[in-house]
């Protein structure tokens, strides 16, 4: 365990799939109590970067330190230090919500009795769904379970891959409240999103990744300030006010990615 200010430190990360290089020499860090947004167009390398941190793909070069644990040398400790919400919710459809909670509490070594399960269900507003199987829940309900599981063991680092996709405003608000609570504990959060408004509103710092390269890392306001006088950015701004989206499009191009 480290006493450093960084919960996550990625240095010189490269990920390839066969001959295709998805991530090239990417470096960034996530500090304690920080929400770090990883932004980029489709296929830019966001999910590959997250997958390497999560231990789902092998990386060719670089080091990943999660709460002081080298992810390549101590993968179980690195994974125990992080909570993950993947892009698509993915639990056994036949299991009931309390059974899913028990499964993940067990694999993360968290004691869980019936009283605690009831409290969790109440907290995620699923007390009426106690006998429902995961496959019978609505998309928003599934997302709430998934988000709770990602923080069930009170991890020092939380990775969220497009967490607000498909959520209604109420569920989205609840999600941000939960993420805020994690941040207040001094834990780090990495999230990917396609919503620039969301990134601008909630992220302390953002990293823009494109074609596998980390183009820039800074606070949303610093990025806007840096590029607000750029003629290309001004041309992109619609209401005379430069936004993060304008900067993002200026940096990554207007072409729609597959």
Partner 1 sequence: METVVPKISIVFRTLFRADITTQWRNRKGLVISLLIPVMMVMLWKDMVKTAGGAWVLSNALSYGLVALGLMGYSNTIARDRDKGIFQRLRVAPIPTWAIMCSRLLVQLLMIVIITLAIFIVGYDVDHISLSVSGYIITLFTSIIGAGFYLSVGQLIVALIKNPDTVNSTSRFVFIIFVVSGMVISLYDKAKKLPPEYATIFHWSPYGTINTMMAAGMEPSTWNMHATNASLATIGYIVVFLVIGIRKFTWNTK
Closer CB to partner 1, residue 81 or residue 171?
81
Stretch that binds partner 1, among 92-100, 166-174, 198-206, 248-256 (CB under 8 A): 92-100
Closer CB to partner 1, residue 17 or residue 128?
17
Closer CB to partner 1, residue 29 or residue 67?
67
Smallest gap, in angstroms, from Cβ of residue 77 to partner 1? 5
Closer CB to partner 1, residue 150 or residue 174?
150
Closer CB to partner 1, residue 87 or residue 213?
87
Closer CB to partner 1, residue 95 or residue 167?
95
Distance CA 89, CA 83 (A): 14
Residues 108-127 that bind partner 1 (CB under 8 A): 108-109
Are 159 and 83 in contact, with CB atoms under 8 Å apart? yes
Residue 202 near partner 1 by CB under 8 A:
no
Residue 132 near partner 1 by CB under 8 A:
no
Single residue of 5, 42, 107, 127 touching partner 1 by CB under 8 A: 107
Residue 162 near partner 1 by CB under 8 A:
no
Single residue of 36, 59, 91, 248 touching partner 1 by CB under 8 A: 91
Are 203 and 218 in contact, with CB atoms under 8 Å apart? no
Residues 142-161 that bind partner 1 (CB under 8 A): 156
Residues 33-72 that bind partner 1 (CB under 8 A): 54-56, 67, 69
Distance CA 26, CA 216 (A): 10
Residues forming contacts to partner 1 in the complex (CB under 8 A) are: 1, 54-56, 67, 69, 76-77, 79-82, 84, 86, 88, 90-95, 99, 102-104, 106-109, 133, 156
């Amino acid at each position: 365990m480290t006493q450093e200010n960084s919960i996550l430190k990625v240095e010189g990360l490269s990920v390839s799939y066969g001959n295709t290089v998805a991530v090239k020499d990417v470096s960034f860090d996530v500090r304690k109590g920080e929400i770090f947004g990883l932004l980029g167009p489709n296929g830019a390398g966001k999910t590959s970067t997250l997958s390497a941190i999560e231990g789902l793909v092998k990386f060719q070069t670089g080091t990943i330190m999660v709460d002081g644990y080298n992810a390549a040398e101590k993968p179980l400790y690195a994974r125990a230090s992080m909570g993950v919400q993947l892009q698509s919710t993915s639990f056994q459809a036949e299991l009931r919500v309390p059974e899913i909670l028990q499964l993940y509490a067990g694999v993360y070594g968290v004691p869980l009795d019936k009283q605690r399960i009831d409290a969790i269900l109440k907290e995620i507003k699923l007390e009426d769904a106690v006998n429902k199987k995961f496959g019978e829940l609505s998309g928003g309900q599934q997302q709430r379970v998934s988000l709770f599981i990602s923080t069930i063991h009170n991890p020092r680092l939380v990775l969220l891959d497009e967490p607000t996709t498909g959520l209604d405003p109420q569920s989205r608000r609840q999600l941000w409240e939960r993420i805020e609570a994690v941040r207040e504990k001094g834990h780090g959060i990495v999230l990917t999103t396609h919503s620039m408004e969301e990134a601008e509103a909630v992220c302390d710092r953002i990293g823009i990744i494109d074609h596998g390269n980390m183009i820039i890392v800074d606070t949303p306001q610093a990025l806007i300030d840096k590029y607000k006088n750029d003629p290309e950015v001004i041309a992109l701004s619609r209401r005379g006010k430069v936004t993060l989206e304008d900067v993002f499009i200026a940096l990554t191009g207007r072409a729609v990615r597959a």
